[in-house]
Structure 1
């Protein structure tokens, strides 16, 4: 955490444990990357992967995307958020959410080394279903040419979270209005096998479905 990522409001919600930050980033699927593209800022959802070994995030996209052309060498902001519950208070002002949110700021680096690119793309696949990349054919040269990979260091990163219940004014509690928390979580449905394959669901997918189906 640095001055650029240090919390300035509700500082008590900061999570100082580095391991908690990494575990959170390892367990999510979508990041939002913000960058100035030409004369305006853009913030777009991207698939990403945590690289614990390199202490960085990888994001990827089409080389035809304008924002990707602007990102290499530029300062970018990557955010990853999980909404864990809706906090339904007795007033609109005190409505809130339970959440975990990571913010990463740093200079994006275009990954050009072929071995690192291959590893990064495997990590992006494995972020979704651990172990799946090893079961797939290697990407073709055409696919690699069409794909850009960026690395963003985790040197400047923070994790903020809210947990718990409603925080209402005493007079609102006395008024008797209902309040509470509606927990939220990602739950997997039944795996839908593509109709063009007769093979059973592979173990890596079944394991992920079981993990998310709890």
Structure 2
């Protein structure tokens, strides 16, 4: 457990983000929310479509107090988003926690769950601006190096945004927590750390001979 108090635990932004299970892992502050969101560009969006729950993986980015994601304007998700509250989640696996009993096996992780209503960006100029922010957020200056976007491509792209105000996080770190009597059991316990790794870029074999890789591509890092 951590030294988080019950008073801090109750400071959830809403009843539905109030963590009850393993509540000592809960965080509600915006600093933690933003740090987890910024650690990876991959999220999962959950919503109901035709009475069936769907969870869709998607690339996303954060601008201030909102998250943004894009997809096809013809996609079912973007037709359903504005008519319901949705669940937007991001998670990072940091380690396998090996305990002295199967019951106490665990993992070290960071996760955030956002709840609320998404908004679609419909202005074509604003969509182009947000896409530019997305691309340049991954590789600085890349948008300006690319072939200029066609109006039909902007029209075919849907972009949604959502506030990060209604959020809850869970963060677990550290060694296993076993039952007191199990610490005398002769079984190895500990943590296997897990890290995401960015490898050297692999060029497209159809690159033009005189095209060199921008230095910003080499500088890409998660988070």
Scaled by the length of structure 2, the TM-score of the pair is 0.86
Q: Check 1:115–1:3 CA distance in 2 against 1; reply closer, same or farther (3 A cut).
A: farther
2:129 is aligned, of 97, 119, 134, to 119
Residue 9 of structure 1 corresponds to 21
Q: Check 1:138–1:73 CA distance in 2 against 1; reply closer, same or farther (3 A cut).
A: farther
1:107 aligns with 2:117: yes
Structure 2: distance between partners of 1:175 and 1:20 = 36
Residue 197 of structure 2 corresponds to 187
Aligned length: 208
1:38 is aligned, of 38, 41, 50, to 50
1:24 is aligned, of 28, 36, 41, to 36
1:50 aligns with 2:58: no
Scaled by the length of structure 1, the TM-score of the pair is 0.89
Structure 1 residue 7: Cα displacement: 1.3
Structure 2: segments with no counterpart, 5+ residues: 1-12
Structure 1 residue 127: Cα displacement: 4.3
Structure 1: segments with no counterpart, 5+ residues: none
Structure 2: distance between partners of 1:202 and 1:61 = 27
1:95 aligns with 2:70: no
Q: Check 1:6–1:133 CA distance in 2 against 1; reply closer, same or farther (3 A cut).
A: farther
RMSD of aligned Cα (Å): 1.7
Superimposed CA distance per residue, residues 152-198 of structure 1 (whole angstroms, 9 cap, x where no aligned partner): 11121122100111111233221211111011111111210111223
